[in-house]
Each structure stands twice: as structure tokens, then as C-alpha cells.
A and B are shown apart, each in its own frame.
Chain A
């Protein structure tokens, strides 16, 4: 079936460096993509989203890039901080349909001092 997955299960980054978390999706009908952050013992928290009519969107210290040609999504975190340590999920949905938000497996980001 359709799926959303991640290339790297764990990413270790030194404090201050930039982090890049990747995600591949397979549903060509998906037109809306979201990144969530989940800290230990908490529910996922919305970070940033992007629609398929865009290829880049920036937030505070975060940038999401979308490459529809290869069905690839990435989350870039600038100047990674210890508080960024968490599991990051990408999610996708085909808006305007009866589909629901589908989450990938997740990547654990570990920030080392």
C-alpha cells in the first residue's frame, strides 16, 4: 500500500551544526506534507508544513524542502540545539479526499554537546 518512510532511523548531530532529516513518500496523490516533533513521553507537535505547489518553506530555524519529482521531503534545522533532541516524523495527506494523515516511522535526532 502507500507509505511514508524515512531513510535514517537515528541521526547524531553536534550542537550548533545543521541537521537534515529526510523522508520519502510513495503516494503520488499526496499534496500536503507536515513535519512533527515528538519529545520523550509527549505527543507529537506540529513543526512546519508545505503544500505541493511549493518546493521550499522556512520557519524559525527550520526549513522544509519538497522534491515532488523524486517524492522526497526533508527537514533542515539550523544551529541545532539540545532541545531539538526528539523523534521527527513526516506525514502526508491527499487533501480534498477522504484520506487521513499518514505518518512515517520517524527519525531520532540526538544532539551531542
Chain B
């Protein structure tokens, strides 16, 4: 597609369940980011993939969070044993290259609600 695509757009789950959020970046973009945005807050960095380099996982809040990027394209963010504080909008972004550009293209996000 023309833009970054994320699914699902909305996810309601029960505390303790696992969830998977998917991001399909713009074709040809080598860099992919996951951010988390709580209500009325800024963007909290989670993880960054750049080409074939080891991902920067420094923003993952706990070991319940993991992400992978298969074939340098689609990425999946997995949250295990979800907690209520995990409720947020999870935003994915891609860019043509990594650290030297600030022009990230964002998807519309996946809104996660943990009951």
C-alpha cells in the first residue's frame, strides 16, 4: 500500500492474555519503529529495526514485550500476559533510512485496551 498499515486498529483483551500487533511498512523503507502513546501523552519509543542490524530494544518496558521483523518488511509486536497499564495506542513508523532522517511515516496505530 501507499502508507504504513497497522492491524488491528482496535483490540480489547482481558488481563493476562497475549496480543499481537502487526505493522506493514512502506515498501522499500529499511527502518521501522514502534512507539507507544498513552492517552494525552507523547510518544514513548519501544524498538527500532534498521536493515539487517540488531534491533535497538532499549525502549521495551519489560520482558513481556517483544518484536520481530521478518524479511526486512512486516513487523509484529507481541505483548504477553497483558496488564491494564499496557493500554495505549501502539504506533508503527517506517523511514527510508535510519538515524539520519527524522521523516518517519506513521501508521494510524493499534489501540489496545486491557480490561
State the A residues within 8 Å of B (CB).
32-34, 41-46, 49, 89, 91, 93, 95-106
Contact = CB atoms under 8 A, between A and B. Distances in A.
Given A43-B109, A104-B42, A106-B42, A95 B100 contact: yes
B42 A95 contact: no
Interface in B89-111: 91, 93, 99-100, 102-109
A98 to B, nearest CB: 7
A34 B104 CA distance: 10
Given A43-B91, A46-B102, A100 B4 contact: no
B106 A44 contact: yes
Contact of A105 (B41, B48, B91, B104): B41
A100 B50 CA distance: 11
Contact of A41 (B93, B99, B100, B108): B108
B65 interface: no
A43 B108 contact: yes
Interface residues of B, number: 22
B56 interface: yes
Interface of B: 4, 33, 35, 41-43, 45, 48, 56, 59, 91, 93, 99-100, 102-109
B99 A93 contact: yes
Contacts of B56: 98, 100
Contact of A96 (B100, B105, B107): B100
Nearest to B102: A34
Q: Which 10 A-B pairs have the closest CB atoms?
A: A43-B106, A34-B102, A103-B43, A105-B42, A46-B103, A95-B100, A103-B42, A100-B48, A49-B102, A44-B106
A45 B3 CA distance: 12
Contacts of A49: 102-103
B18 to A, nearest CB: 24
Given A45-B106, A97-B99, A104-B42, 8 more contacts: A41-B108, A43-B109, A44-B91, A46-B104, A101-B33, A105-B42, A106-B41, A106-B42
Nearest to B95: A101
